[in-house]
Amino acid sequence: MLHSVTYTQQPWAESYSEIIDVRCHREFLEDHIPGAINLPVLNDAEREEVGTIYQQVCSFTARKIGAALVTRNIYQHLSQHFAAKDPEYHPLVYCGRGGQRSSSMASVLTQIGWEVTVLDGGYKTYRNYVRQQLEHLPERFTYRMLCGLTGTGKTHILDKMRQRGAQVLDLESLANHRGSLLGGEWPGKLSSQPSQKYFESLLLQHLQKFNSHQPVWIESESIKIGQVYLPQSLWQKMRQASCVEIQLPIAARVKFLLQEYPHLVSHPNVLKRQLEKLKTRCGWEKLSQWYQLIDAQNWESLVQDILHSYYDPIYNHSTKSYFSKAHRFISIPDLSDGSIENVLDSLLPNYAAIQ
């Protein structure tokens, strides 16, 4: 049975066998619907070539060349990706604006006999939806901020909360950044931060999974995580949230950081280059002291001094500036499983009534 192409402007209200982004890889990398796969009908170079011909030669010639390239690429996708799809296969297809690229793919797939839905307006429709949702959706939730100096294991504790069933929004994970000078890219780290647009797509995807009748736990962050920014609506709600501050002895913090950041030890030259970015704030004399500790492989003393000289003052200033609501302080001796379980026992039941 042959189907006609179906168009929608609300794909999030339906379910599909697969979501197919037919834009070029460069467009896909900048942002896409989470979970979509990339099957370009024109690759990066081909799209640029057709666009140049369209502007510098004539539109008719560009359409002929473009049609030939699109046909060839769709054939490759048919013979590879679509070869094993069953008759019940029902994909959503989208391109940049819901025009020729998605229509070309959808037309061929429907001729085979599959039911195909095209996102009307393409990625532009989706992007407008993300922006609109992020203006208001964060305001629906009650947030609980987990605060604490660097090395108090906030992310680790939040992960344990998630395992207990609490709602946790891990912004550092979504931003692919540890939220500090030493949290960016290092040798051996294969992936970089998402673009601002894709970060917002991932953020929306996570927020939509939450129950507005239960609190959302979140780590205290600044409005900027690496190179991406939080939406103003979320940032304002975070600033209004009550905070629970974890307090941990300095020796336990140092031990935890050396375990969590092994690259500090394995890439001393990279560490020096990273620390050099602090010369304006800390001065060359302090940097020289740190370099000497690195050369001597005195890692505990190095980390402790970096905490005292840089991270702790930054945290104390930002916490007072951004998160002024009343704090609850919880002191623990270390970040052992037993200590963390005690923290969770004292926190999560307090919010069990918010259902």
The 3-state secondary structure of 64-95, one letter per residue: HHHHHHHHHHHHHHHHCCCCCCCCCCCEEEEC
| pLDDT score recorded for residue 352 | 43
> Active-site residue 58, yes or no?
no
| pLDDT score recorded for residue 233 | 97
Task: Give the bridge partners for 331, in sequence order.
Answer: 247
In contact, 247 and 215? CB cutoff 8 Å = no
Surface-to-core class of residue 111, CB atoms within 10 Å of its CB (0-12 exposed, 13-18 middle, 19+ buried): exposed
Averages of pLDDT over runs of 10 residues in the chain (355 residues) are 86 94 97 98 94 91 93 97 96 95 96 96 97 97 94 94 95 83 55 92 97 95 92 95 94 93 86 90 93 96 95 83 77 95 86 42
| pLDDT score recorded for residue 351 | 47
| pLDDT score recorded for residue 326 | 62
Task: Supply φ then ψ for residue 279, to 5 degrees.
Answer: -60, -35
Distance CA 270, CA 276 (A): 10
- At position 334, the amino acid (one-letter code) is D
Instruction: Delineate the domains of the chain, giving CATH numbers in brackets.
Output: 6-131 (3.40.250.10), 141-351 (3.40.50)
Tokens at 258, concatenated: 């050396």
List 95, 147, 243, 282, catalytic entry? 95
| pLDDT score recorded for residue 207 | 98
Task: Give the bridge partners for 147, in sequence order.
Answer: 245
Surface-to-core class of residue 84, CB atoms within 10 Å of its CB (0-12 exposed, 13-18 middle, 19+ buried): exposed
